[in-house]
Amino acid sequence: MVSTHSENSQQLIGLARRRAFELYLRSGRKPDAPLLAERKDIGSALAAAAADRGMPTSHYVWRTMLDDRVRRRHIEREGHVFARAEPPSGGPPGTEPNCRCWAEPYYGDPAIPDALQPLAHAYQTDTTGLAPWASIETLTRADGSIAHSVVLARDGTQIQSAFSGTLIARQITLATGEVVRVDTSGGVQSIYLGSDPRPLFQSAWTAHGPRVIRARRHLAFLGDEQTLIDPDVEGDPYASAREPYGIPILPNLGGLIALALVSLHSMLRAAPASQGLGEKDEPVLAIKAWAVNGNRQPVPVLVGSLTEEQLRQHCRFLPDVQNWTDDAAALLADKKPILPERTWGSLVHGVIKRTIDALKKSSPFIYDSLRPEISFAPNITGPVPYGRKGSTRLDVVEDRSEEEGVLCDYDVKTGREGLTVSRLKEIADRLSKSYPGITIYIIEVRPRL
Ligand SMILES: [Zn+2]
């Protein structure tokens, strides 16, 4: 930055005022948070600047990989809150050479308790009928970060989220009344069923992606079609979850969890701001095989998003896959209106595959980890030839299983439908058989307009 601090502040304050005015025009009323004190002014202005850079919050927590490769100066910053507008020496996480640190969003200003903050209320409904959500209600702080949101999906699922500091508490109420809670705090994600205070499982972010740190036996496996009540628990731990709705015993716990996570994932994609995501955060579902009595059962180890820095660690070809998808769609744009949706989609997929094949031929070393259109069949370890009966074809896979213990499945979508429960289960089943112990990220890639 070349300009002086006061010049910046003036610019930022101007920007914040303009934003407040725009909000006034949109909502037809003055924002509840008046820009009064100078300090507040600057806070809001910084937030507006953060928003301009596509960041969801004005502050963040410095996170490190917590291993012995982290430089000492960054270890000292672990867990500390920084303002995005005032980066420490060397710049924000991920800037210095080989830095694997990342910025975890911090919701709210650590200097101002939420109770003392006026929150701006906004409510919008989708009138096009095309969005996967029907309505979105948000409460936003003066610093621009989101405090609460309630999103009603078109299928009747409701997602309520509260954001405070590093805690994100979500409650997913399915159309059938069942409740799944997903809490994320300090890099640890916990998934609960109903009002049961004990998590089904917990996972933490590590140098090798999210790792399961605690799991209740026989619970929450995606492929599990059975209902199994924890044998070491007296009584029915889900009674309170079912009580208001009078729903009989849960018929398919794995399916229930999968549906809740797919619904949340879909909203992270469709309405990222309401879910506290910035522009460069990438929604992901991560799964991993968990060995039970010699069988491998896929469990969801993360539903959320990866920051730009985390993606650079693990799914580094995402920007390329996105560009190839955009290029393929642009190349075939004139055919789109005249072809059935599926046919056009296959053509786009074909162009992406040919692009990757050509790159692998010219630069085999660089593109070594990329596998376009790779097929897997049930109960067979490793890829199978395309077209085998019952096989599942994945669009683009980035295989970093050897070096990083992770694998990225780029699911290219050209139609309106996103990731479904059946597709998730299929991918989870096939890949967990072939890649035991590997973190598998599922990332949806769509052509940008
Ligand atoms: Zn670092």
Ligand 1 centroid, distance to 378 Cα (angstroms) = 41
Residue 306 lies in a domain: no
Ligand 1 centroid, distance to 90 Cα (angstroms) = 10
Tokens of 104: 């975890």
Query: What pLDDT, on a 0 to 100 scale, did the predictor assign at position 80?
Result: 92
Give just the sign of the alpha carbon dihedral 79, 85, 87, 92: positive
Choosing from 244, 275, 306, the residue where a domain stops is: 275
Ligand 1 centroid, distance to 68 Cα (angstroms) = 11
Residues 8-29 have pLDDT tens digits of 445 544 444 444 444 444 444 3
Ligand 1 centroid, distance to 346 Cα (angstroms) = 42
> Pairing between strand 439-445 and 201-206?
unpaired
Residues 271 and 335 in one domain: no
Residue, of 187 and 343, whose pLDDT is higher: 343
Ligand 1 centroid, distance to 97 Cα (angstroms) = 8
Residues 6+ apart with CB under 8 A from 244: 177
Ligand 1 centroid, distance to 82 Cα (angstroms) = 14
Residue 144 lies in a domain: no
Q: Are 374 and 408 in contact (CB under 8 A)?
A: no
Residues 133-184 have pLDDT tens digits of 999 999 999 888 999 999 999 999 999 999 999 999 999 999 989 899 999 9
From 259, 185, 186, select the one nearest 220 (Cα to Cα).
259
What average pLDDT does the structure give for the chain?
Answer: 81
pLDDT at 397 over 90: yes
CA-CA distance, 100 to 310, in Å (whole number)? 7
Q: Are 203 and 210 in contact (CB under 8 A)?
A: yes
Ligand 1 centroid, distance to 78 Cα (angstroms) = 9
Cα 404 off chain centre by: 20
Q: Ramachandran region of residue 187, left (φ > 0), alpha (ψ -120 to 50) or beta?
A: left
Ligand 1 centroid, distance to 76 Cα (angstroms) = 10
Residue 412 lies in a domain: yes
Ligand 1 centroid, distance to 262 Cα (angstroms) = 32
Number of H-type helices and E-type strands within the chain: 9, 18
Ligand 1 centroid, distance to 87 Cα (angstroms) = 13
Ligand 1 centroid, distance to 96 Cα (angstroms) = 7
Residue 141 lies in a domain: no
Residues 199 and 77 in one domain: no
Q: Ramachandran region of residue 129, left (φ > 0), alpha (ψ -120 to 50) or beta?
A: left
Query: What pLDDT, on a 0 to 100 scale, did the predictor assign at position 136?
Result: 96
CA-CA distance, 210 to 204, in Å (whole number)? 5
Ligand 1 centroid, distance to 100 Cα (angstroms) = 5
Residues 160 and 64 in one domain: no
From 121, 93, 117, 122, select the one nearest 107 (Cα to Cα).
117
Ligand 1 centroid, distance to 71 Cα (angstroms) = 6
Ligand 1 centroid, distance to 94 Cα (angstroms) = 6
Ligand 1 centroid, distance to 443 Cα (angstroms) = 25
Percent of the chain with pLDDT strictly greater than 70 = 80
Residues 73-113 have pLDDT tens digits of 999 999 899 998 888 999 999 889 889 898 989 998 888 87
Mean pLDDT of 243-267: 71
Residues 358 and 411 in one domain: yes
Q: Which residues of 398-426 are buried (b: 16+ CB within 10 A; e: fewer)?
A: bbbbeebbbbbbbbbbbeeebbebebbbe
Residues 172 and 268 in one domain: yes
Ligand 1 centroid, distance to 403 Cα (angstroms) = 19
Ligand 1 centroid, distance to 196 Cα (angstroms) = 37
Residues 262 and 351 in one domain: no
From 121, 100, 89, select the one nearest 23 (Cα to Cα).
121
Ligand 1 centroid, distance to 98 Cα (angstroms) = 7
Ligand 1 centroid, distance to 199 Cα (angstroms) = 31
Residue 285 lies in a domain: no
Ligand 1 centroid, distance to 70 Cα (angstroms) = 6
What is the total count of domains within the chain? 3
Ligand 1 centroid, distance to 72 Cα (angstroms) = 9
Range of the domain at 247: 155-275
Residues 97 and 22 in one domain: yes
Ligand 1 centroid, distance to 330 Cα (angstroms) = 38
Ligand 1 centroid, distance to 64 Cα (angstroms) = 6
Residues 328 and 441 in one domain: yes
Ligand 1 centroid, distance to 99 Cα (angstroms) = 4
Residue 380 lies in a domain: yes
Residue 167 lies in a domain: yes
pLDDT at 225 over 70: no
Q: Are 201 and 292 in contact (CB under 8 A)?
A: no
Ligand 1 centroid, distance to 400 Cα (angstroms) = 21
Ligand 1 centroid, distance to 9 Cα (angstroms) = 29
Ligand 1 centroid, distance to 69 Cα (angstroms) = 9
Residue, of 227 and 69, whose pLDDT is higher: 69
Ligand 1 centroid, distance to 313 Cα (angstroms) = 12
Residue, of 428 and 53, whose pLDDT is higher: 428
Residues 327 and 439 in one domain: yes
Ligand 1 centroid, distance to 45 Cα (angstroms) = 28
Residues 74 and 16 in one domain: yes
Percent of the chain with pLDDT strictly greater than 90 = 42
Ligand 1 centroid, distance to 75 Cα (angstroms) = 8
Residues 216 and 320 in one domain: no
Residues 438 and 319 in one domain: yes
Ligand 1 centroid, distance to 48 Cα (angstroms) = 26
- The sheet that has 146-153: what strands, in order across it? 120-125, 133-140, 146-153, 158-164, 167-173, 179-185, 188-193, 201-206, 209-215
Ligand 1 centroid, distance to 211 Cα (angstroms) = 20
Residue 300 lies in a domain: no
